[in-house]
Structure 1
């Protein structure tokens, strides 16, 4: 656990697990288990801005009281990784076009998450991670989706109460409401 007595600037990029031990990290883009079926980046630890991590820690504390843990699927992502994703899937509803702007992942202020129970099992959610087709066809009013919709609503409610804003197209994607610049020259050995 990082020394909490060290005063950090909220804009500093930090390793999430150093500040929120309970969070599970399973970065999908460090494996082929993602919509591209390719490894997008070569690090498996989640990094975010310290200010964003403080908000995530607050959310984790609330989820813990309910018997859940946050699982991170994606956090900080390099600009190079963003360009690679855009080359594979140039649809700005789901992938930010790096030629006209950047994703909040490139700023270290976006996190893709789900919830797991105490045994580590993922809760049922509207779709799988990065399942863009299913997202477009998901009907939250359908009775068979009730549990999935309730779980996603709980995730959204708590994350929003802690200072995040959910993406309108992805139930798993949350942006910090505070703004930071794009991270340049990232080295995963910080």
Structure 2
């Protein structure tokens, strides 16, 4: 998560605990990471579900057998969770790839980009909703807007929910959610939202 990009399998030992094959396969089978064997050495990258799971762990209790260093790390993560909740932010807002030298957008470019994405969300909702005000699953919305980076789309949804006609809604019956629908959730504070409603 901290690297926010594909990581060479051979580089993992330098970043933290080594990831043996059995553990790697378990993470892959659970849909938490993607393994790219088309390059050498192979690379590993978090899936959307992996990002969501990491986000849920931030601020959690340390495992019972944690060492002093491990407990210290969870204390730092608890502070990060408080900041994320206070600012309505997500881990993707904090972690970015190394060496990302992309020139920052000026304020007018940021404003234009924000307006464009929010307009795209409204247009996609209109094409998917049965009628204004009905709910649309975010998994369907993401499929319509797959060209927009997840971080940008999540940020736009979080901003858009502040509009009087827009609501982000959690699924009441969590047992009905598929893995795709869970992974598509937008987390605001500690609440996972799976549905979008726009009145107009």
* TM-score for the superposition, normalised by structure 1: 0.21
TM-score normalised by the chain length of structure 2: 0.20
Find the structure with the greater CA-based Rg. Answer: 2
